[in-house]
Amino acid sequence: MKILAIESSCDETSAAVLINGEVKSNIISTQHFHSKYGGVVPELASRAHIQYISEIVNHALKTSSCKISDIDTLAVTSEPGLVGSLIVGSNYAKGLSLKYNLPIVPINHIEGHLYSGAIEDNSLTFPYISLVVSGGHTVLYYVRSYSKYEILGSTIDDAAGEAFDKIAKLLGLEYPGGPLIDKFAKSGNREKYRFPRPMIHEDNFNFSFSGLKTSARYFLHNNFPDGTTENELCDIAASVQEAIVDVLVEKSLKALRQRKADKLAVAGGVSANSRLREKLDEISSRGKYKTFLPKMNYCIDNAAMIGFLADKKISEMGKDSFQDLTYRVNPSALRFGKKSRK
């Protein structure tokens, strides 16, 4: 089976080709221009998707040495995300479907992340715990199969990536600030300042990061009213990062213990964080739990994860279940907790 997958839910335009479940190409184009606005501007995001989607799809086909006439199924992200961005990918897929008479598998973006750990590592077998941690989502799942999973908890306010970005902004760093906090933290002392670890000891799997952001705001206002030196910035970045990572790791461990699971898969942009990766590697090296961190191009928003899940769905349900082109994009898909980010 040859699948052409498209992802355009936020600020990445991506297309991938999978042959019999194996990723042959996964082209991702990130809209870096949003950084000058301090966040993703939905209208500009959808315009940029329109501008680049054909090129990205053609690039994905070419890289996999396929022609559109070789493809037998399309997959596209239909929820959740920015409505305009979702519409561009979905309508592009519908256009191809009508022209080439191809079925479309509409895929939930978060479900794409949920299973992305298995794209390259078939030792990620069910059941497992999954932490999806990005700019719009911070959710812990107990995953039983490709169609059955349970939400254990999610953020009740800001997502972890949002906290990184907002605190970075307070520190005068560009959007997206997560990678910059990570970079400055490498030269900082993570024990220097003690920031709150919200909800870390609560007996549930929910997260809350807006209090941490407020605490960082007061901390900076009271201690560094005139700004920071680079050394101070590094220490603050390392201390804030430690607080966020501690909460993510502790809640994931709690889920592993409570569900008696032994595998933890992590995905979403924040899984690029080097301190989080370091701590997860440490956990794996102790032997009791195995952690799965897909390579970066499968962690961030990408079409390969959309195609991968579509492949599984077709194996379970058959191609004929996906002939209906009247499905609609759904920006909020509330069952996944947090809505799309601004």
Which residues of the shown chain bind ligand KG4 in the complex (CB under 6 A)?
Answer: 10, 134-136, 161, 164-165, 176-179, 182, 268-270, 272-273, 300-301
Counted residue by residue, the chain has a size of: 342
Which of 296, 317 has the CB closer to ligand KG4? 296
As given in the structure block, the two tokens for residue 292 are 């799965």
Which of 61, 300 has the CB closer to ligand KG4? 300
Q: Indicate the residue type of 207.
A: F
Which of 242, 301 has the CB closer to Zn ion? 301
Strand, coil or helix: 140: strand
Which residue is closest to ligand KG4 by CB? 269
Q: Residue 133 — left, alpha, or beta (φ > 0 → left; ψ -120 to 50 → alpha)? A: beta
Q: To the nearest whole angstrom, how small is the minimum distance from the Cβ of residue 105 to Zn ion?
A: 18
- Whole-angstrom distance, CA of residue 297 vs CA of residue 267: 10
- Whole-angstrom distance, CA of residue 328 vs CA of residue 73: 18
50 contact, one of ligand KG4, Zn ion, none, CB 5-8 Å limit per kind: none
Q: To the nearest whole angstrom, how small is the minimum distance from the Cβ of residue 131 to Zn ion?
A: 13
Q: To the nearest whole angstrom, how small is the minimum distance from the Cβ of residue 223 to ligand KG4?
A: 23
Which of 103, 178 has the CB closer to ligand KG4? 178
Q: To the nearest whole angstrom, how small is the minimum distance from the Cβ of residue 20 to ligand KG4?
A: 27
Location of structure tokens 């040859």: 2
135 contact, one of ligand KG4, Zn ion, none, CB 5-8 Å limit per kind: ligand KG4
* Binding interface with Zn ion (CB under 5 A): 134, 301
Which of 208, 273 has the CB closer to ligand KG4? 273
Which of 40, 280 has the CB closer to Zn ion? 40
Which of 103, 307 has the CB closer to ligand KG4? 307
Q: To the nearest whole angstrom, how small is the minimum distance from the Cβ of residue 302 to Zn ion?
A: 9
- Whole-angstrom distance, CA of residue 197 vs CA of residue 181: 17
- DSSP annotation string for 173-236: PPSS-HHHHHHHHTTS-TTSS----TTTTSSSS-B--HHHHHHHHHHHHHH-TT---HHHHHHH
End-to-end CA distance of the chain: 36
Q: To the nearest whole angstrom, how small is the minimum distance from the Cβ of residue 269 to ligand KG4?
A: 2
- Whole-angstrom distance, CA of residue 58 vs CA of residue 37: 30
7 contact, one of ligand KG4, Zn ion, none, CB 5-8 Å limit per kind: none
Location of structure tokens 């759904």: 330
15 phi/psi in degrees, rounded to 5: -140, 145
